[in-house]
Structure 1
Amino acid sequence: MRLPFLIGLVVLSTVAVAAADVRLPYVFTHHMVLQRDQPAPVWGKAAPEEKVTVRFGDQTHQATADESGAWRVTLDPLSLGEPRELVVEGSQSDAPVVVRDVAVGDVWICSGQSNMQWSLENAKDGKLELLAAKRPNLRLLLVEQMGAQEPLDDIDGAWRVSTPKTAKSFSAVGYFFGVQLQQTLDAPIGLIGNAWGGSSCEAWVPLAELREKPLYEPLLERWAETESKIDEASLRAEYATKLADFYERRAAAYAAGNPLPQRPSMDNLLFNQHRPANLYNARVLPLTPFTIKGVIWYQGETNAGRAYQYRDLFPRMITSWRAAWGQGDFPFYWVQLADFQKETAGPVEGSDWAELREAQTMAAESLANAGQAVIIDIGEANDIHPRNKRDVGLRLARLALGETYGLPIKAQSPRYESLAVEDGKATVTIADVGAGLKTFDGVEPRGFTVAGEDRVFHAATAEIKEGKRVVLTSPNVPQPVAVRYGWANNPVVNVFDSAGLPLTPFRTDDWPGVTAKAR
């Protein structure tokens, strides 16, 4: 059972209007976006057995609250149109809840760790972009609450129309993605910013999913030892008191038009972004069953040291989210890890970041309605947070526009298809090359290595043939059996397709990597 709404009536009323006994979770506030072309659940709390009527446009739906006060209706699929009011009225309530300026369009969740959380004002040219951030049909919602081991049923946030003031602290990647979609589709776009810097993938996964597989036993055992040393019940009680005081002060600030107080935090491992299931319970479940179009995701840096485990963990997370929403295989697009740390021109002994990228590519190959934006050309050697978020957002937008919306644009980066070896030459065939492969700097292809049966890699001379094949040779490897491309934390690579999308890093071998045994 989920815990009760975090947001009490008095607080919600300052956002969604007058005080009333019937109430909505915070995903339903002024300026929100309802997903078009799909059934759209609306739910909330009321008195037990209270009759609730929901009106939106020409639709009217009714429900009766159960013994706990929970109620739910489902709007019929909605079409684009002018913003409207969502009116929710309880038979025992003093006044209806009226949510104003409700748009109908597409809703995307923007989740992950710090590179997704990175704000627009701190991105490259972010302050320039903010001058044009007044966008009435781009709506933003930030989710910021602490982690929890028990499922919560509400978030702490409110929708805002994009303006220079509201957009500056929003995800830069999400913003650029949303702007491109809004301009291309000419439809309202709602973005739910739901990222936490440094978060581990396992924090976004339900515990039941982790407990069912031995792969995660060492991880869960480490956390169990940590948990045994901390009085969590006392900490939760202390934090609940802080939250109650915060909600009261915030309600008063809203009513008086004063600056809002800062939400309290709890500096403890049990509340953080690493503990398994913490963010799934606190930041994913409260958003279900709110209808969405899809998810964009940027995460993996924290899990690079356990890249082989990520091969199972990341798809497991995606499938658990899809199951929780109950919308089928909604689109799920992510950013492959960028290049980072000192550049490496030749072969390397091992690379956890290369292995994490490989795990991400495996997910793209195994999951339906999923894909990755390759940014092996966008990173910065000395900063794990590359400031160029515009191109990251645009590459994600390419995926959505081409794959989800069916527009005629190249969406996927070129990727490895097959290997053939003959007369000492290794020839790799590349799929999805558009009008053909090329090097961005006009020189020979760089970043390829080959190995023989000794499993020792050497730099290879490469030549592009017929736009989709790369022929590789090395005087040090007379009989190659394996090829790698871009296999380093920060490889020197230069192969792109005709749309300017970089070739996806790959390897043809399956020899054990440096994270193979990490748990």
Structure 2
Amino acid sequence: MKKYCFILFIFLGIESFSQTQLPGFFSDHMILQQQTAASIWGRDQPNKKVTVKASWGKSATAIVNAQGKWKIQLPTPSAGGPYNIEIKGSNTITLNDVLIGEIWFCSGQSNMEMPVKGNPNQPIIGSNEAILHSTNNSIRFFNTPKVSSLTPLDNSNGNWKAANTETTGNFSATAYFFARKLQSVLGIPVGIIQSAWGASTIESWMDQQSLLKFNTKPIPQKLPIAEPNRTPTILYNSMLHPYIGYTIKGVLWYQGESNRENAHDYQALFSTMIQSWRTQWKQGDFPFYFVQIAPFEGGKVNAALLREAQLKTMLTEKNTGMAVTMDIGEKNMIHPAQKEMVGNRLAYWALANDYQLKGFAYSGPVYESIQNTTDGKLEISFTYAEMGLTSFGKPLSGFEIAGEDKVFYPAKAIFTKDKNGRITVWNEEVKNPVSVRYGFTSWTEASIYNIQGLPASSFRTDNW
């Protein structure tokens, strides 16, 4: 009996290896990136010829290598569909209802994972109306199951689903509102691959090689039972690696809350992660847009340091952009309910930079420089404020000022008369000010916007 089972096991192994196989995300209802050479890959019997034919008239072939893997690049047309794709190897697989459009990979922790329907006792503002009116075959999502692994995986199970009243509630709210804005403006299909895990650290999304120069927790030899989402490399292996090479337009990232306690390392970690993802994807410096963590009172350290690291990353890494959330934070809730605003602000970056739409603002004011005035005050200049600044009628708040003694005092602030995009700050007790800070505490409320209503990030002019 044991001998029979052993032979059956070998037979089944050979049988499965000799079949044409695809990762779960190459399936019915998927969306492929338009006007590019879209990568499609899988497994089959070594040395087998695999042919991929698309109903839009393009095809490609590959020979399966000794490890049983094959990969092709399939030229895609401009946005449209539906189409079908036939993959013929040891057997034939037909993918139906395939659309061509724009693909964005969306990752991070709980604020990216939080669905349109909200979490228990944690609402998404406007979710019910959003779900009710969400039926749109041109918006499709692939949600990645939560999986952990010590070694890089090649597959992710799941299903592509079109937006409708029964499916949209389970999509990432941030990603859905981003996709909805893009689709409504561009009028073409938009596909979202969501791969996020609440409370995950940035280190968990980075490969082992990228982490070598950082003093992080050691890579485990056994799969951790508790908190795999906070263990270096684990989610990279299981929830990122399977997708590397899937032809995308760009990445959306919403993460940072779990790294507040090592905020001083975050800029270097974040920049390294962005660069490593781009290197591994082999698509050049694709767009990488992210959300600045919102003000929140909890935590042991000043979260403004993490927000600062995110701002510096945007200012130093090319083809990046940051959606500022200084005006939507909730003092006692780490998951802001205004996810539609977040998704829209991410979409502004993409629509301006990647789809070349003009005539609208896509960034809030960004601190540029300070200079002393003749009466012992400091004047702050901002970019992305060509038409000026506003507080929408409320007093300017959140400013502190210090002299060379590094002692900060609450500062008064006004918009500089006759100068667009500038603010004057002072405190009578600081005769020779050298530094100013704005909103540089864990919990703060926004008071600076550009005329188009986008808020400025918290910032400081010192590095004390």
- Normalization by structure 1: what TM-score? 0.82
1:436-475 alignment to 2 at 5 Å? 436-440=388-392, 442-465=393-416, 466-475=419-428
Could you list the runs of 5+ residues in structure 2 that have no partner in the other structure?
1-11, 13-17, 119-123
Q: Take 2:137 and 2:252, find their aligned partners in 1: how far apart are those partners?
A: 22
> Mapping of 1:217-256 within 5 angstroms?
217=215, 219-220=216-217, 223=218, 227=220, 232=222
Take 1:332 and 1:491, find their aligned partners in 2: how far apart are those partners? 27
Give yes or no for the alignment of 1:51 onto 2:49.
Answer: yes
Q: Distance in 2 between matches of 1:302 and 1:351?
A: 12
Which amino acid in the other structure matches residue 110 of structure 2?
S
Give the match's secondary structure for 1:302: helix
Q: What amino acid sits opposite 2:387 in the alignment?
A: A
- The letter for the 2-side match of 1:87 is E
Q: Contact between 1:427 and 1:471, CA under 8 Å: does it hold in 2?
A: yes
Look up the equivalent residue of 2:225 and give its one-letter code. N
Does the CA contact (< 8 Å) of 1:333 and 1:396 recur in 2? yes
The corresponding residue for 2:106 is: 110
Alignment-derived partner of residue 295 in structure 2: 339
Report the equivalent of 1:60.
59
- How far, CA to CA, are the matches of 1:205 and 1:352 in structure 2? 25
1:141 aligned counterpart, secondary structure? strand
- In structure 2, what residue type is equivalent to 1:102? V
Aligned to 1:324: 280
Letter in 1 for 2:98: V
Q: How many residues align?
A: 438
Q: Distance in 2 between matches of 1:376 and 1:197?
A: 21
The one-letter code sitting in structure 1 at the alignment partner of 2:60 is: H
Query: Is the Cα–Cα contact under 8 Å of residues 50 and 87 in structure 2 kept in the other structure?
Result: yes
The answer for the alignment partner of 1:251 in structure 2 is none
- Residue 259 (structure 1) aligns with: none
| Paired amino acid for 2:405 | D
1:195-206 equivalences under 5 Å are: 195-206=196-207
- Match 1:121 to one of 117, 120, 142: 117
TM-score by length of 2: 0.91
1:419 to 355, 366, 370: 370
Q: How many Å separate the matches in 2 of 1:483 and 1:403?
A: 31
1:495 aligns with 2:421: no
The alpha-carbon deviation at position 136 of structure 1 amounts to 0.5
Q: Retained in 2: the 8 A contact 1:177–1:393? A: yes
How far residue 352 of structure 1 moved from its aligned partner, in angstroms, is: 2.4
Instruction: Please give the alpha-carbon distance, in whole angstroms, between the structure 1 residues aligned to 2:50 and 2:189.
Output: 28
| 2:295 and 2:445 in contact (8 A); partners too | no
| Structure 2 equivalent of residue 268 of structure 1 | 225
Matched to 1:118, the amino acid is M
Provide the residue aligned with 2:354 in structure 1.
404
Alignment partner of 1:504 is 2:457: yes
Could you say which structure has the greater relative contact order, defined with CA pairs below 8 angstroms and 6 or more residues apart? 1
Structure in which a larger fraction of residues adopt helix: 1
Opposite residue 261 of structure 2, the aligned amino acid is G
Equivalent residues of 1:52, 1:62 under 8 A apart: yes
**Does 2:78 align with 1:79?**
yes
CA drift of 1:77 comes to: 4.1
Point out 4+ residue stretches in structure 1 off by more than 4 angstroms.
none
2:133 aligned with 1:183, yes or no? no
What SS class does the counterpart of residue 165 from structure 1 fall into?
A: coil
- Aligned-partner Cα distance in 2 for 1:332–1:181: 16
CA contact (8 A) 2:23 2:157 kept: no
Please state if 1:352 is matched with 2:305.
no
CA distance in 1, matches of 2:436, 2:42: 56
Question: What is the alpha-carbon distance in structure 1 between the residues aligned to residue 327 and residue 79 of structure 2?
Answer: 38
